[in-house]
Structure 1
Amino acid sequence: MNKQILARIKKKLYHVHIVSLQNFFFYRLPETFTPDFHDKNAVLQMPTNPLGKTGLHVSKISFGASSLGNVFRTTNEKESLDVVREALQKGINYIDVAPWYGHGMAEEVLGRALVGIPRTAYYMATKVGRYKPEVDKMFDFSAERTLQSVDESLQRMGLDYVDIIQVHDMEFAPSLDIIINETLPALQKVKQSGKARFIGITGYPLKNFKTVLEKSTVKIDTILTYCRACIHDNSLQDYIPFFQERGIGVINASPIAMGLLSNRGPPEWHPAQKDIKDACAKAATFCRENGCDISRLAMAYTLGFPGVDTTLFSTASLENLRKNMAAVNSPLSKQEHDILNDTIKRYIDPLTCHHWEGVEVEEYQRQLQGIQNDGTFKLG
């Protein structure tokens, strides 16, 4: 055979081999794929990322179950159950919840939604440390309450274990030393007992993550941050290299900043200062007047944020679920890109402060100090 022809054949075969490998990795089904449950084509269209060094491959967007606890509005339970089932069937494989959401309600509704769904079809994360609406009963980071909380969560959800157990909102502890010396060692016992596979920490102040990660003797696998990779506040980018160096999985929550970046606007309890709320409201109006939905722009901005393994969104609406899932494979048009950039320049860049760090903690401490015997003070 002519050497030139043979060379061309080898080159063609090499090209086919490389393309096949690329297709294999791009279309690889995650380990959570369960043929009798999942919509295979939908799962193939959902990108996944490694979650730090855990070995888990999580969907690019994941489901935050706080909405199931009536946190944002009164929900319809049937629709809530349908939302969870459809989210999992269509390729979302990571769920995040907490006892705090609806004060147990979110975990209970989630437990009902998971009935009949194979446990291998999803990863589950819940939290410890934040519980009741009464200020003096809201937080408890003690080892005893931590161990009890895990058992309560598993019972509410009807599960034998969770994939990730997390400390909820560390900044509200009297000291981070309690988290480091008491809560995390308790979670290590939970992990050793087989009730959790990995350990995570959550909160709003980004500097706390660095402090705890550097001081903890317990291995921490993930961090969960929220409202820090958004149009109005992108400060998470300053911490991504630190997390990556340590192999920490980065879970980002609330791409629309708990309603700030939406046409409906934030709930009354939202902790942002007035200037931030006003700027975001004007931004939403500007986008709407230019034929764009600010929530779609916000989701696209967050999904393009480097160093984030998965982004949590929460909804109890099938319509919103489908809109958020469609956003994964629906890039912004040039017009939308231009409007997004213009929105940031007009309304976000002029802000002197882009976050509300310390606001909630100060209010909590004020109410805790002034609490009366009848316990009437509540937060949120």
Structure 2
Amino acid sequence: MAGLPPTFVKGFHDEEVVRKMNYTQLGKTDLFVSRLSIGGGTLAPYYGNDSEEEAIRAFHYALKSGVNYIDTAPYYGQGRSEKIIGKALKGIPREAYYIATKVARYNMGDTVDAQFDFSAKKTKESIDQSLSYLGLDSVDIIQIHDVEFADNLDIVVNETLPAVEEARKQGKTRYIGYSGYPLQPLKELILKAPGRFDTVLCYSRYTLLDDSLLEYVPFFLEQGLGLICAASVAMGLLTNDGPRPWHVAPDEIKKQARLCSDYCISQGVELGKLAMSYAAELKGPATFLVGMATIDIVDINLDSFWNGLTPKEKEVLDYCLKNFCVKKGQWEGLELAKLRAARK
């Protein structure tokens, strides 16, 4: 989509800058989302972004620059992300952005039971709590978070989804989505509940280390789903700073990523920009979701989408792809197995 999006607000946006952003219809919804979007996960304390003030400035800067889609969840800092975003949105015209939150995943914990609750009762309570934190009467999308952690997908279909559908009837959301890391459960769920979901979010499945999303893109699009591609930097794995200590990837994958980042550092190039630019070339996803808790990170990502890579950055990317990036960078099942073992 060329020109100005439906979310453009004269007097709030920088029109010249907004015209540089591309917008795509999110599946069959009426949302025309910016190709670059804001992920609220990095506002959780386990990412080390402690400055609430800087995060709010970054959000305002990104929104004024034409980024119009925001994603958050109760799980991100047990509401911290939603609270900060709620503060950031005060005074921002509601028509200037789309926003999504989630249900079903809530707390850091040692077991599945400590982190997840797919019950209808908790889902209803969570939606109202999220709206309170965000300071909104409704959001654009409510997503069922990390469905692979449910004991079985029937619980999602029979408990969680009806509760979200009820919230939609009450005007608390316009659309319904779901998310996860393993791709096969995402496919199975839409087959169990055809026509009942509008969007699907997958993360870290099309990166410099993993292209497994390619196999599933045609299926998701055939189902009419708006595809959201998140965490192209693999939750910090593909950045010069590297992953946080809690990252669940096995050591051999972290080693490959470290080889990339060490080489990028030696060449004066930011790996995160290369990773984002590489992922954004993928056809199919409507938007690419990335954490942007500082203005510097917003600038890096805007530059990637507006201007692409410099000749030097392209050379570094090609070198990394040829020498370090084996497309087996998955950690599927590791976190789930650990949490279920702890339960026992």
The TM-score bracket by the shorter chain reads over 0.9
Cα-to-partner distance string for 1:175-216 (whole Å, 9 max, x where unaligned): 111111211111111111110000001000001111000111
For residues 335 and 86 of structure 1, what CA distance do their matches in structure 2 show? 28
Partner residue of 2:147 out of 154, 170, 174: 170
Paired position in structure 2 for 1:22: none
Amino acid of the residue matched to residue 25 of structure 2? P
> Deviating runs (4+, > 4 A) in structure 1?
none
Give the direction of change, closer, same or farther, for the CA distance of 1:192–1:253 in structure 2 (3 Å limit). same
Q: 1:281 aligns with which of 258, 273, 276?
A: 258
Write out per-residue CA displacement over residues 51-92 of structure 1, whole angstroms, 9 at most, x where no aligned residue: 111121000100011222323004211111111111111101
Paired residues of 2:23 and 2:34 also in contact (CA < 8 A): yes
Structure 2 equivalent of residue 292 of structure 1:
269
Tell me the equivalent position of 2:171: 194
Matched, 1:99 2:74: yes
Q: 2:16 aligns with which of 22, 41, 54?
A: 41
Q: Alignment length, in residue pairs?
A: 342
- 1:26 and 2:2 are equivalent in the alignment: yes
| Residues 49 and 293, structure 2, Cα contact 8 Å, conserved in 1 | no
8 Å CA contact 2:2, 2:23 repeated in 1: no
Maintained 8 Å contact 2:38/2:70: yes
TM-score, normalised via structure 2 length: 0.96
Q: Secondary structure at the match of 1:328?
A: helix
Secondary structure of 2:324 counterpart: helix
Identity %: 42
Relative to structure 1, is the Cα distance of residues 306 and 217 closer, same or farther in structure 2, using a 3 angstrom cutoff?
A: closer
Whether 1:145 and 2:122 are equivalent positions in the alignment is yes
After superposition, the C-alpha distances for 1:118-164 in whole angstroms (9 at most, x for unaligned) are 11110010000011223333110001111111000000111000100
Structure 1 residue corresponding to 2:29, chosen from 44, 51, 54:
54
SS where residue 343 of structure 1 aligns?
A: helix
Q: Deviations over 1:215-248 (max 9, x none)?
A: 1156101011110111000111111111111111
Once the 2 structures are TM-superposed, how far is the Cα of residue 336 of structure 1 from its aligned partner?
A: 2.9
The one of 177, 181, 201 equivalent to 1:204 is 181
Conservation of the 8 A alpha-carbon contact between 1:75 and 1:316: no
In structure 1, give the amino acid aligned to 2:270: D
Moved more, 188-197 or 280-289: 280-289
**Residue identity opposite 1:207 in structure 2:** Q
Structure 1 stretch displaced more, 287-296 or 221-230: 287-296
Aligned to 1:301: 278
Q: Is the 8 A contact 1:185 1:218 kept in 2?
A: no
**1:180 matches 2:171:** no
- C-alpha distance in structure 1 between counterparts of 2:62 and 2:317, whole Å: 28
Letter in 1 for 2:27: G
CA RMSD of aligned residues (A): 1.4
Structure 1 counterpart of 2:338, one-letter code? E
CA contact 1:237–1:306 (8 Å) conserved in 2: no
Superposed, 1:368-379 pairs within 5 Å as 368-369=343-344
**Kept in 2: contact 1:98–1:126 (CA 8 A):** yes
Letter in 1 for 2:315: D
1:322 is aligned to 2:338: no
How many angstroms apart in 2 are the aligned matches of 1:344 and 1:122?
35
Tell me, yes or no, if the aligned pair for 2:204 and 2:233 is still in contact at 8 Å: yes
| Structure 1 contact 54–221 (Cα < 8 Å) conserved | yes
CA–CA separation in structure 1 for the residues paired with 2:315 and 2:91: 46
| Equivalent residues of 1:205, 1:357 under 8 A apart | yes
Secondary structure at 2:141's aligned position in 1?
A: strand
CA contact (8 A) 1:225 1:251 kept: yes
Assess if the C-alpha contact under 8 Å between 2:120 and 2:159 holds in 1: yes
Structure 2: give runs of 5+ residues left out of the alignment.
none
Q: How far apart in 2 are the matches of 1:296 and 1:79?
A: 20
Q: CA deviation at 1:315?
A: 2.5
| Distance (Å, rounded) in 1 between the aligned partners of 2:290 and 2:46 | 13
Instruction: Give the structure 2 partner of residue 10 of structure 1.
Output: none
Task: Verify: 1:108 aligned to 2:64, yes or no.
Answer: no
- In 2: Cα distance, 1:178 partner to 1:361 partner: 17
Cα displacement string for residues 95-119 of structure 1 (whole angstroms, at most 9, x for unaligned residues) = 0000000101111111111111111
The yes-or-no answer on 1:88 pairing with 2:41 is: no
Q: Amino acid of the residue matched to residue 80 of structure 1?
A: A
Alpha carbons of structure 1 residues 364 and 289: separation in structure 2 relative to 1, 3 Å:
same
Question: Which protein has the larger Cα radius of gyration, Structure 1 or Structure 2?
Answer: 1
